[in-house]
């Protein structure tokens, strides 16, 4: 039985060999054998060539397979990386003395290609629409760009007042200064203390968030918590869902391009494979599902690109796909989320750097000399 924790104790040589295997598999899509690795230059973390014999490579590959990092498809002599191996690979790209993930690490050619695509564009919506196209082209995956809710829908303050039994006045003040009030009919009566606690929870945790992200995060917190805290979350969810109806989500605009790119990565060899591909394409075309997916994983306050391998936890039809995304910011404010959805066998370094670079397009347009 493979030990899932063992990968964290790989030797430097094993990590170097695993990196070579992953990069070969990304490039060819074919299982990788020891003879292939022996012909390649295996580099350590500092970029120096490691001298490794074919016999040593075979032994190390066996160790990596025992650690759950390599698997053998069918009767092929070669091995392919597991999801756990890809996670480790992404961690290595972002860590160490010389991390390979940063906007400045993107090639000059790719930077020029991106910049030229945004010349003459004005406004967040136009930039996001072009972003989905550019990311699809650069990654050969699905480019996704989601505009944040309008500034007027960013929460500044919420207050609940008890009017009568099971009836509450909700007052929401948005960041733009707009004030909304709504009388709520609740399933059960809440005390003044319970209403105050719920309002404090929302104000302390979600000030500056879009109404949609508040909804998604409360739902996610409820899934995680099984304690007295759950009672508070139940009250918060009931109050918030009735204060800000579901229709408010319509303020988010979604741009998707490159769905056909997934077909080139999928080997549709059976009716089951074809059915799964149809499910994936349908999920990508259902734009609200994408909004929910990105809101579940990408925090508008984060500073760096994030790679998510477990998409199937929120969308079962996305099993086997990876999300690489980052919040798009302008003058410190989130203007949306940009990213790529693609197969595990994608070029992580290029795609992560492209997403990181393109997420800063908005600030570069605002301050072109910066």
Asked if residue 370 has pLDDT above 50, the reply is no
E strand or H helix that includes residue 182: strand 179-185
Which listed CATH number (3.30.450.40, 3.90.1150.10, 3.40.50.2000, 3.40.50.1980) goes with 103-148+252-366?
3.30.450.40
Q: Name residue, tokens 């109404």.
A: 211
Beta bridge partners of 339: 144, 325
Mean pLDDT for 341-356 is 92
In terms of CATH architecture, what is 6-93?
Orthogonal Bundle (1.10)
CA dist., res. 360 & res. 363, Å (int): 6
Per-residue pLDDT tens over the stretch 165-197? 988 999 888 776 667 778 888 888 999 999 999
Per-residue pLDDT tens over the stretch 278-300? 778 777 777 777 887 887 788 76
Domain ranges for the chain, please list them.
6-93, 103-148+252-366, 151-250
Exposure string for 104-143, b = 16+ CB within 10 A, e = fewer: ebbeeebbeebeebbeebeebeebbbbbbebbbbbbbbbb
CA dist., res. 75 & res. 86, Å (int): 22
Q: How confident is the model at residue 313 (pLDDT cuts 50, 70, 90)?
A: confident
CA dist., res. 330 & res. 359, Å (int): 9
Residues 6+ apart with CB under 8 A from 318: 280, 283, 293, 311, 312, 341
**Pick from 183, 179, 157: nearest CA to 168:** 183
Asked if residue 136 has pLDDT above 90, the reply is yes
* Residue 147 contacts residue 130 (beta carbons within 8 Å): no
Q: Name residue, tokens 């990092």.
A: 69
CA dist., res. 245 & res. 297, Å (int): 22
Whole-number pLDDT of residue 43: 64
Give one DSSP letter per residue of 310-352, joined into a string.
-GGGT-GGGTTEEEEEEEEEETTEEEEEEEEEEESSS-HHHHH
Local structure of residue 48 (DSSP, 8 states) = P
Measured CA to CA in angstroms, residue 125 lies from 112, 115, 255, 339, 361 at distances of 21, 17, 9, 15, 13
Q: How confident is the model at residue 67 (pLDDT cuts 50, 70, 90)?
A: very high
Q: Is 145 helix (H, G, I), strand (E, B) or coil?
A: strand
Q: How confident is the model at residue 228 (pLDDT cuts 50, 70, 90)?
A: low
Q: Which residue has the higher pLDDT, 8 or 90?
A: 90
Q: How confident is the model at residue 307 (pLDDT cuts 50, 70, 90)?
A: very high
Whole-number pLDDT of residue 2: 40
Q: Name residue, tokens 């077909």.
A: 263
* Residue 18 contacts residue 85 (beta carbons within 8 Å): yes
Q: What is the pTM of this model?
A: 0.68
Whole-number pLDDT of residue 174: 75
Measured CA to CA in angstroms, residue 315 lies from 98, 150, 169, 267, 283 at distances of 35, 26, 36, 21, 8
* Residue 298 contacts residue 337 (beta carbons within 8 Å): yes
CA dist., res. 357 & res. 343, Å (int): 21
- Cα separation of the two ends of the chain: 53
Measured CA to CA in angstroms, residue 173 lies from 147, 153, 159, 255, 340 at distances of 21, 9, 9, 29, 34
Mean pLDDT for 131-155 is 81
Q: Name residue, tokens 């099993």.
A: 319
* Residue 159 contacts residue 199 (beta carbons within 8 Å): yes
CA dist., res. 32 & res. 69, Å (int): 13
Per-residue pLDDT tens over the stretch 229-242? 888 888 888 888 88
CA dist., res. 86 & res. 98, Å (int): 19
Q: What is the mean pLDDT of the chain?
A: 81
Beta bridge partners of 210: 154
Which listed CATH number (3.40.50, 3.30.390, 2.60.40, 3.30.70) goes with 151-250?
3.30.390
Q: How confident is the model at residue 49 (pLDDT cuts 50, 70, 90)?
A: low
């Amino acid at each position: 039985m493979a030990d899932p924790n063992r990968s964290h104790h790989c030797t430097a040589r094993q990590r170097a060999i695993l990196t070579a295997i992953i990069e070969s598999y990304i490039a060819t899509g074919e299982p990788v054998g020891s003879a292939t690795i022996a012909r390649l230059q295996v580099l350590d973390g500092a970029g120096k060539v490691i001298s490794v014999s074919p016999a040593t490579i075979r032994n190390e590959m066996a160790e990596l397979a025992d650690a759950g990092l390599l698997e053998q498809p069918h009767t092929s002599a070669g091995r392919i990386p597991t999801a756990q191996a890809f996670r480790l690979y992404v961690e290595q790209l972002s860590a160490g003395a010389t991390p390979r993930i940063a906007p400045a690490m993107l090639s000059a050619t790719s930077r020029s290609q991106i910049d030229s695509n945004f010349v003459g564009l004005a406004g967040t919506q136009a930039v996001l629409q072009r972003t989905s196209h550019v990311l699809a082209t650069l990654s050969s995956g699905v480019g996704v760009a989601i505009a944040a809710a309008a500034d007027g829908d960013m929460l500044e303050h919420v207050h609940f007042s008890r009017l009568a039994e099971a009836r509450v006045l909700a007052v929401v003040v948005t960041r733009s200064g707009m004030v909304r009030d709504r009388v709520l009919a609740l399933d059960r009566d809440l005390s003044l203390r319970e209403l105050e606690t719920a309002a404090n929870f929302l104000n302390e945790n979600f000030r500056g968030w879009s109404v949609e992200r508040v909804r998604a995060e409360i739902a996610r917190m409820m899934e995680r918590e099984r304690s007295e805290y759950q009672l508070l979350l139940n009250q918060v969810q009931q109050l918030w869902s009735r204060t800000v109806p579901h229709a408010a989500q319509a303020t988010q605009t979604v741009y998707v391009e490159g769905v056909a790119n997934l077909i080139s990565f999928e080997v549709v060899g059976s009716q089951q494979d074809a059915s799964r591909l149809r499910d994936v394409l349908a999920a990508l075309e259902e734009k609200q599902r994408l909004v929910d997916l990105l809101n579940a994983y990408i925090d508008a306050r984060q500073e760096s690109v994030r790679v998510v391998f477990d998409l199937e936890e929120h969308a079962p039809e996305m099993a086997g796909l990876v999300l690489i995304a980052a919040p798009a910011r302008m003058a410190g404010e989130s203007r949306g989320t940009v990213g790529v959805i693609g197969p595990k066998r994608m070029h992580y370094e290029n795609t992560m750097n492209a997403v990181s670079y393109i997420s800063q397009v908005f600030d570069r347009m605002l301050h072109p000399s910066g």
